Protein backbone atom coordinates (compact mmCIF):
# COMPACT_ATOMS: atom_id res chain seq x y z
CA UNK A 1 0.00 0.00 0.00
CA UNK A 2 1.26 3.46 -0.89
CA UNK A 3 1.77 5.94 1.92
CA UNK A 4 -0.57 8.95 1.96
CA UNK A 5 -0.78 12.48 3.26
CA UNK A 6 -1.41 12.33 7.02
CA UNK A 7 0.42 9.01 7.47
CA UNK A 8 3.48 8.60 9.69
CA UNK A 9 6.82 7.89 8.03
CA UNK A 10 7.50 4.15 8.41
CA UNK A 11 10.44 2.79 10.31
CA UNK A 12 13.48 2.43 8.06
CA UNK A 13 17.22 2.94 8.20
CA UNK A 14 19.07 5.29 5.87
CA UNK A 15 22.83 5.61 5.47
CA UNK A 16 24.51 8.95 4.97
CA UNK A 17 28.13 9.69 4.21
CA UNK A 18 30.02 11.64 6.87
CA UNK A 19 33.63 12.72 7.28
CA UNK A 20 34.07 9.50 9.30
CA UNK A 21 32.49 7.27 6.66
CA UNK A 22 28.98 5.84 6.33
CA UNK A 23 26.62 6.46 9.24
CA UNK A 24 23.21 4.90 9.76
CA UNK A 25 20.24 7.00 10.84
CA UNK A 26 16.73 5.78 11.60
CA UNK A 27 13.75 7.46 9.98
CA UNK A 28 12.28 8.06 13.45
CA UNK A 29 15.38 9.99 14.52
CA UNK A 30 15.82 11.85 11.24
CA UNK A 31 12.26 13.21 10.98
CA UNK A 32 11.53 13.78 14.70
CA UNK A 33 10.63 17.26 15.85
CA UNK A 34 11.24 19.17 12.65
CA UNK A 35 10.07 19.89 9.11
CA UNK A 36 11.89 18.02 6.34
CA UNK A 37 11.55 18.40 2.58
CA UNK A 38 12.31 14.91 1.26
CA UNK A 39 12.59 13.99 -2.38
CA UNK A 40 13.29 10.66 -4.00
CA UNK A 41 14.98 9.99 -7.32
CA UNK A 42 15.28 6.72 -9.27
CA UNK A 43 19.07 6.91 -9.19
CA UNK A 44 22.08 9.09 -8.52
CA UNK A 45 23.85 10.42 -11.61
CA UNK A 46 20.89 9.61 -13.88
CA UNK A 47 19.94 12.27 -16.46
CA UNK A 48 16.79 13.97 -15.08
CA UNK A 49 17.93 13.48 -11.49
CA UNK A 50 21.30 15.14 -12.15
CA UNK A 51 20.18 17.83 -14.59
CA UNK A 52 16.95 18.96 -12.90
CA UNK A 53 15.83 17.29 -9.68
CA UNK A 54 18.81 17.62 -7.32
CA UNK A 55 19.99 20.96 -8.79
CA UNK A 56 16.51 22.42 -8.25
CA UNK A 57 16.65 21.64 -4.53
CA UNK A 58 20.21 22.95 -4.24
CA UNK A 59 19.13 26.18 -5.96
CA UNK A 60 15.95 26.58 -3.86
CA UNK A 61 17.46 25.51 -0.51
CA UNK A 62 17.38 28.98 1.05
CA UNK A 63 13.83 29.67 -0.16
CA UNK A 64 12.63 26.37 1.33
CA UNK A 65 14.32 27.14 4.64
CA UNK A 66 12.76 30.62 4.68
CA UNK A 67 9.35 28.87 4.43
CA UNK A 68 10.04 26.76 7.53
CA UNK A 69 11.92 23.71 6.23
CA UNK A 70 14.60 22.64 8.72
CA UNK A 71 16.34 20.17 6.42
CA UNK A 72 16.23 19.10 2.78
CA UNK A 73 17.01 15.46 2.04
CA UNK A 74 17.36 13.37 -1.10
CA UNK A 75 16.95 9.60 -1.10
CA UNK A 76 17.62 6.98 -3.74
CA UNK A 77 18.17 3.25 -3.92
CA UNK A 78 21.94 3.67 -4.11
CA UNK A 79 24.72 3.09 -1.58
CA UNK A 80 26.07 5.84 0.68
CA UNK A 81 29.32 6.13 -1.30
CA UNK A 82 27.45 6.86 -4.53
CA UNK A 83 25.03 9.26 -2.82
CA UNK A 84 27.93 11.07 -1.15
CA UNK A 85 29.85 11.41 -4.42
CA UNK A 86 26.74 12.60 -6.25
CA UNK A 87 26.02 15.20 -3.58
CA UNK A 88 29.59 16.51 -3.78
CA UNK A 89 29.55 16.66 -7.59
CA UNK A 90 26.26 18.63 -7.48
CA UNK A 91 27.43 21.10 -4.83
CA UNK A 92 24.77 19.84 -2.44
CA UNK A 93 27.07 19.29 0.56
CA UNK A 94 25.72 21.98 2.88
CA UNK A 95 22.26 22.25 1.32
CA UNK A 96 20.86 18.74 0.80
CA UNK A 97 21.41 15.69 2.99
CA UNK A 98 21.96 12.62 0.82
CA UNK A 99 20.21 9.58 2.34
CA UNK A 100 21.09 6.24 0.83
CA UNK A 101 18.30 3.66 0.77
CA UNK A 102 20.75 0.98 -0.35
CA UNK A 103 18.42 -2.02 -0.22
CA UNK A 104 15.28 -0.07 -1.09
CA UNK A 105 13.75 -0.72 2.33
CA UNK A 106 12.36 2.81 2.65
CA UNK A 107 10.99 2.82 -0.92
CA UNK A 108 9.25 -0.50 -0.19
CA UNK A 109 7.94 0.68 3.19
CA UNK A 110 6.28 3.74 1.63
CA UNK A 111 4.97 1.66 -1.29
CA UNK A 112 6.73 3.77 -3.91
CA UNK A 113 8.98 1.38 -5.80
CA UNK A 114 9.41 1.07 -9.55
CA UNK A 115 10.82 -1.62 -11.79
CA UNK A 116 13.87 -0.25 -13.56
CA UNK A 117 15.08 -3.66 -14.75
CA UNK A 118 14.63 -2.81 -18.44
CA UNK A 119 17.36 -0.20 -17.83
CA UNK A 120 19.52 -2.59 -15.78
CA UNK A 121 18.61 -0.80 -12.55
CA UNK A 122 16.43 -3.37 -10.78
CA UNK A 123 13.92 -2.21 -8.19
CA UNK A 124 14.25 1.50 -7.42
CA UNK A 125 12.31 4.23 -5.66
CA UNK A 126 9.85 6.26 -7.68
CA UNK A 127 10.35 9.98 -8.23
CA UNK A 128 8.44 11.85 -5.50
CA UNK A 129 8.66 14.66 -2.97
CA UNK A 130 7.07 15.24 0.41
CA UNK A 131 6.97 17.60 3.33
CA UNK A 132 7.33 15.71 6.60
CA UNK A 133 6.44 17.49 9.84
CA UNK A 134 7.59 15.70 12.99
CA UNK A 135 7.37 12.32 11.26
CA UNK A 136 3.96 12.89 9.61
CA UNK A 137 3.52 13.47 5.88
CA UNK A 138 2.00 16.93 5.35
CA UNK A 139 2.36 16.93 1.53
CA UNK A 140 3.05 14.08 -0.91
CA UNK A 141 3.74 14.46 -4.63
CA UNK A 142 4.27 11.32 -6.72
CA UNK A 143 5.31 11.62 -10.35
CA UNK A 144 3.77 9.67 -13.18
CA UNK A 145 6.38 7.40 -14.84
CA UNK A 146 8.73 9.44 -17.02
CA UNK A 147 7.48 12.79 -15.69
CA UNK A 148 9.16 15.54 -13.71
CA UNK A 149 6.93 18.30 -12.37
CA UNK A 150 5.11 17.71 -9.06
CA UNK A 151 8.23 16.45 -7.26
CA UNK A 152 10.27 19.54 -8.12
CA UNK A 153 11.59 22.05 -5.61
CA UNK A 154 9.41 24.74 -7.17
CA UNK A 155 6.24 22.69 -6.70
CA UNK A 156 7.13 21.78 -3.11
CA UNK A 157 7.91 25.43 -2.39
CA UNK A 158 4.45 26.39 -3.67
CA UNK A 159 2.90 24.00 -1.11
CA UNK A 160 4.53 25.68 1.90
> Active-site residue numbers?
49
Of 81, 84, 85, 59, give the one whose Cα is nearest residue 72: 59
Residues 6+ apart with CB under 8 A from 153: 37, 39, 56, 57, 59, 60, 64, 129
34 and 28 in contact (C-beta within 8 Å)? no
Amino acid sequence: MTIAKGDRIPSATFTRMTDNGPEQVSSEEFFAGRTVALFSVPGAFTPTCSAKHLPGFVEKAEALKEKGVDEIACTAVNDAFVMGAWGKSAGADDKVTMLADGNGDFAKAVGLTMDGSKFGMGTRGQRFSMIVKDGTIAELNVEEPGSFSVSSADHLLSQL
